[in-house]
């Protein structure tokens, strides 16, 4: 019986990087976590134990640090492009390079009413990027992860399907909360990644805040639609939204009413809504 090697890849994950840019009187920082993956001609390594076409994953890690010294890390998408270009240039046995990056977002600590020049605090939100490159071209994604949002009005959930096990009550004015994870695909050659990223993020937040939501699906579509309609450099967007529930507490056993003021947070289980929107 003949055995044939199928799809295969290898790479380095969880490469951690802190880049400090030191200027007179001011420091700037970028903290990234990267994953690098190669697809290519690696059959000999699998079948015969011949490693002559295997670039060590330790070298991938070292390359991240070396290129971080050579290039600015202002836009994470640009840094991923530098990595893809480097690996494709020096590794003819590699057909495809995939680089994913997640950036922890740091802000400045306020000191004396002013942003401190060299002391920082971190939010839970992350900026993400993914670049997949071959010798024919690159596919570039940007995104957001861990952006927690909540609103206390303009959210309802009514008219849903019921079966014998449905106990959920309809709600015309519920709390809507989620943790936004979005990834969009750029198109075009001359893209200013950071301005586009900030504009897409703000569009998502503005839409969430003002949308008259009939469900989390309804709001997801509105956010994605707004990004695609307002951003010429974004071709498609994928959104993943867990429904973070806040349930009204029954205070009647204590002789009290509760006019939608006291809630309890429930983390698990939660709904998960996902969809991809794209321009035709």
- Please tell me the predicted confidence (pLDDT) of residue 72: 83
Sheet holding 263-278, edge to edge: 10-23, 26-40, 94-111, 114-134, 137-151, 176-186, 234-248, 263-278
Residue 140 lies in a domain: no
Residue 2 lies in a domain: no
- Please tell me the predicted confidence (pLDDT) of residue 204: 98
Residue 49 lies in a domain: yes
Q: How open is the CA angle 170-172-176, to the nearest 5 degrees?
A: 95
| Number of domains, the chain | 2
Residue 45 lies in a domain: yes
- Please tell me the predicted confidence (pLDDT) of residue 271: 94
- Please tell me the predicted confidence (pLDDT) of residue 268: 87
Please identify every stretch of the chain with a pLDDT value under 50, giving residue numbers as ranges.
none
Residue 142 lies in a domain: no
Same domain? For 151 and 106 the reply is no
What tokens were used for 12? Answer: 């380095």
Q: Residue 87: which of 62, 118, 63 has the closest Cα?
A: 63
| pTM higher than the cut 0.85 | yes
Residue 48 lies in a domain: yes
Same domain? For 93 and 198 the reply is no
Same domain? For 114 and 157 the reply is no
DSSP 214: S
Same domain? For 170 and 131 the reply is no
Same domain? For 109 and 44 the reply is yes
Same domain? For 82 and 17 the reply is yes
Instruction: Show the domain range for 254.
Output: 147-278
Taking only the tens place, the pLDDT of each residue in 161-195 is: 999 999 999 999 899 999 999 999 999 888 999 99
Residue 234 lies in a domain: yes
- Please tell me the predicted confidence (pLDDT) of residue 84: 98
From 77, 110, 135, the end of a domain falls on: 135
Residues tagged active-site: 12, 57, 245
Q: Is 111 exposed, middle or buried (0-12, 13-18, 19+ CB in 10 A)?
A: exposed
Residue 5 lies in a domain: no
In sequence order, what are the beta bridge partners of 115? 110
């Amino acid at each position: 019986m003949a055995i044939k090697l199928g799809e295969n890849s290898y790479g380095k994950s969880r490469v951690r990087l802190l880049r400090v840019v030191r200027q007179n009187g001011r420091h700037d920082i970028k903290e990234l976590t990267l994953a690098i993956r190669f697809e290519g001609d690696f059959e000999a390594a699998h079948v015969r134990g011949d490693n002559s076409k295997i670039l060590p994953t330790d070298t991938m890690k070292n390359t991240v640090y070396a290129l971080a010294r050579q290039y600015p890390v202002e836009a994470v998408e640009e840094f991923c492009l530098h990595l893809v270009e480097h690996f494709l240039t020096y590794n003819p046995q590699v057909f495809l390079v995939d680089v994913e990056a997640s950036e922890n977002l740091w802000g400045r600590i306020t000191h004396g009413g002013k942003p401190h020049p060299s002391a920082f605090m971190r939010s839970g939100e992350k900026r993400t990027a993914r670049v997949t490159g071959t010798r024919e071209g690159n596919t570039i994604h940007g995104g957001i992860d861990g952006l927690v949002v909540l609103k206390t009005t303009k959210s309802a959930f009514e008219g849903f399907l019921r079966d014998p096990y449905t106990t959920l009550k309809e709600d015309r004015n519920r709390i809507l909360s989620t943790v936004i994870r979005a990834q969009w695909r750029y198109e075009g050659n001359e893209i200013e990644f950071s301005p586009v990223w900030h504009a897409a993020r703000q569009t998502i937040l503005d839409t969430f805040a003002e949308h008259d939501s009939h469900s989390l699906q309804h709001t997801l579509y509105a956010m994605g639609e707004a990004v695609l309609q307002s951003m010429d450099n974004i071709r498609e967007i994928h959104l993943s939204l867990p429904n973070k529930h806040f349930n009204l507490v029954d205070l009647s056993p204590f002789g009290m009413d509760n006019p939608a003021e006291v809630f309890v947070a429930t983390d698990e289980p939660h709904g998960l809504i996902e969809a991809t929107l794209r321009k035709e």
